[in-house]
């Protein structure tokens, strides 16, 4: 498939290190890139984003073949990786850059994201409101190279971080075995 045929999906789910592996091994996924989006600073650095002055979220941008792996399936994976009821960050990572959001790239993605959020709200799975925002996509800036595929470059530290942050326990409690 030529690169021009790939669709994009962009999700903010707290620490971007933890949002790569759930997607990258799925069929039809071309690439998952860690980065920053949603803010006002061009080409921000990790340090700038962590300073909470850029308006950016830590996010992943996924290039995928929608004929092999539909956007709706990406949404299903996304919801099972986050606490959609937490407005102040994710797990032990606090602050605006760690909030959750779905950044849609076209009207069909917006409609699918809205429908999936409504379905989750109506499911009764959570006792608090779903606060994950659905926003139009803005420029996406890839994070520094050392953040890319962090789980493969630093598997021990990644595993300890994912467990220690509370993410693993939350996923297991709300969705069953860790996905």
Catalytic residue numbers read 15
Is the Cβ–Cβ distance between 99 and 88 less than 8 Å? yes
Tell me which residue of 17, 10, 3 sits closest to 137, measured CA to CA. Answer: 10
Is the Cβ–Cβ distance between 84 and 115 less than 8 Å? no
- Spell out the residues 6+ positions from residue 177 whose beta carbon is closer than 8 angstroms to its own: none
CA distance 97 to 47: 11
């Amino acid at each position: 498939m030529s690169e021009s045929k790939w669709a994009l999906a962009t999700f903010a789910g707290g620490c971007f290190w933890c949002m790569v592996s759930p997607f990258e091994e799925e069929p039809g996924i071309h690439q998952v890139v860690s980065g920053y989006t949603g803010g006002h600073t061009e080409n921000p650095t990790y340090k700038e984003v962590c300073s909470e002055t850029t308006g950016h979220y830590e996010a992943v941008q996924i290039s995928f073949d929608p004929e092999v792996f539909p956007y709706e399936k990406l949404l299903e994976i996304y919801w099972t990786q986050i606490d959609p009821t937490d407005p102040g960050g994710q797990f032990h990572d606090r602050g605006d850059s760690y909030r959750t959001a779905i950044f849609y790239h076209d009207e069909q993605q917006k409609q699918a994201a809205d429908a999936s959020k409504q379905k989750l709200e109506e499911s009764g799975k959570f006792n608090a409101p779903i606060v994950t925002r659905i926003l139009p996509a803005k420029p996406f800036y890839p994070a520094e190279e050392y953040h890319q595929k962090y789980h493969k470059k630093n598997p021990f530290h990644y595993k300890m971080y994912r467990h220690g942050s509370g993410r693993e326990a939350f996923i297991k409690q709300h969705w069953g075995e860790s996905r």
